Chains A and B, each alone.
Chain A
Amino acid sequence: MYYYIFDIKKCKKRSQVENIKNHLAALGISGEFTYPSSAQTIEELVNLGLNKEYTTIVAIGSDEIANRVASVMVGKKEAMGFIPLEESPTSTLIGVKGWKDACEALRYRKINPIRIGRTGSGACFLTELQLSISHPTEVTLEFKDFIIQTQVKGLKISNFNPLIKKIGVDFLDISMISVRPENGSIISKISSVFKTVQDDKLAYSLLRARSLRVFTKNQIPLITSETQIAKTPQLIESTDENLRLITAKNAPVFWAE
C-alpha cells in the first residue's frame, strides 16, 4: 500500500504529475496521492499516512522533501521510497538515474536499512550537510576525544558521499579544506598564486565520527541540497535508528545491516 507525497512545486510541467501517476498505475503500484500545502506540512502528511497504516511512504520531488520525510520515517517499521524529479545526491544514494528508474525500484521494493544524519534541532539529511560560506572562516569542531581548530574554505559533513569510502554505517565523514597560513609578505602572496595540486592535497582533512559539534564565531547556515536546515553552533550526529529506505538493486552504499 503506497502513500505518495508529491512536492508539486518542483514539477517542471503540470503534465509531469500525470505522467508519473500513469506510470505508477501501469506498474501496479498506484496509491493515495497527497500534496503539501500551507494547511498541511510534509511532516504532517507523513504522520497522516502512517496513521492510515500505509506500509510505504514515498516522497516525490527534490532532496528537500526526501530529507523531511526521512526525518519522520527514521526508526519506523514502514518503508520510505523516493522518486526524484531530477538527478541529485539522493538519487545517487538510492541508485536511480531519474523518476522512471525510481518507479521501477519502488516496484521491486528492495528495502535497505540506513542510518541518516541529524542535527540537534531535529532536521535530517540523507546525503551531506555543508557549511554555507563564501570566504575563509574560523571553525572549531568538537569531537568525543578531541577538538579541531582551523580556518576553512569548505566543510562538509557527509552521511553519504560517493567520493568518500565509508568506514562504518554509523559514521559521518567530515571533510574540509583548510587555508594555508600566509605571512602577508609579497613573496607569500605571489607564491599562493602558483600553488600546486599538492598544496591542495595538504590542505584536505578527513575525519570520521558518530557525532560532533560545529562552532563558528558568527552564526552560519548549514545547508543540504541548497536548503538551509540548521545554523551553527550545532550538534550533528548519525541516528541510532535505521531508516528503511527503498533502493535500486545496485545502490552504491554501505547499509546498516
Chain B
Amino acid sequence: MENTVDTIIGINVTLKGNLKNKGSVQINGNVEGEIKSDENVNIGETATIKGPVVAKTIEVSGEVKGLIEATERLEINPTGRVIGDINAKTLIIKQGATFIGKSIMPSDGVVVPATDDNKEIKPQKEEEQEDKAGFFTKK
C-alpha cells in the first residue's frame, strides 16, 4: 500500500509505549507514549497522540498532547490541534489550527514565505515565543 512510509498506525489502533523509527511514520490511530523518527512523522486527522513527538519534519492534522520537537520543520494543518510546547526550526501554523503552548525556535531557523493559507513564525534568537494567554488559535 504505502511503500514510502516505514511504519503506519491505522485508525482504531491503540499503541502504548515508545515507537522509535529510523524511517518515516504515519499515525492515523491513537498513541500513548513517545514517537521518535529520524525522518518524517505525519499525524493524520483521525490520530490522537499523548506524549512527545520527535522527528526531522512533523505534520499535524490530528491532535497532539505533548512536546513536539522538529529538527527541520513543523506544520500544523487547519484540522490540527497541538496542546504542548513546540521546538522547531521552521514552524507553519495554518489558518484554523489550534496551538496551546509555547514555541522555542533556534536562531538558525529557516524563513518560509507566508501565504494566505499559512502563517510562519519567524525564528527568534534564543528567546521563547509565547502569546499572552499561552493560547494560539486562528479562525
Ranked 10 nearest A-B pairs via Cβ: A146-B17, A205-B10, A150-B13, A206-B8, A202-B11, A178-B12, A145-B18, A178-B10, A149-B14, A202-B28
Mask for B1-35, Cβ within 8 A of A = 1, else 0? 11101111111111111111011000011000100
Is A210 in contact with chain B by the CB < 8 A criterion? Answer: no
Least Cβ–Cβ distance between B20 and chain A, in angstroms: 7
Give chain B's interface secondary structure class. Answer: loop
Asked if residues A167 and B23 are in contact (CB atoms below 8 Å), the reply is yes
B contacts, CB < 8 Å to A: 1-3, 5-20, 22-23, 28-29, 33, 44, 46
Given A176-B13, A181-B11: 5 more A-B contacts, CB < 8 Å: A150-B14, A151-B12, A178-B12, A202-B46, A207-B7
Q: Is the beta-carbon distance between B16 and A204 smaller than 8 angstroms?
A: no
Instruction: Judge whether A201 is part of the interface by a CB distance below 8 angstroms.
Output: yes
**Partner-B contacts on A (CB < 8 A):** 143, 145-151, 163-165, 167, 176-181, 201-208
> Are the C-beta atoms of A204 and B12 separated by less than 8 Å?
no
Q: Which residues of chain B come closer than 8 Å to A202, judged between CB atoms?
A: 10-11, 28, 44, 46
Report the minimum CB–CB distance from A204 to chain B (whole Å): 5
Chain B residues closer than 8 Å to A208, beta-carbon distance: 6-7
Tell me whether B12 and A147 are in contact (CB under 8 A). no
19 contacts between A and B (CB under 8 A): A145-B18, A146-B15, A146-B18, A146-B33, A147-B16, A150-B10, A150-B12, A150-B14, A151-B12, A176-B10, A178-B11, A178-B13, A178-B29, A181-B11, A201-B2, A204-B2, A204-B10, A208-B6, A208-B7
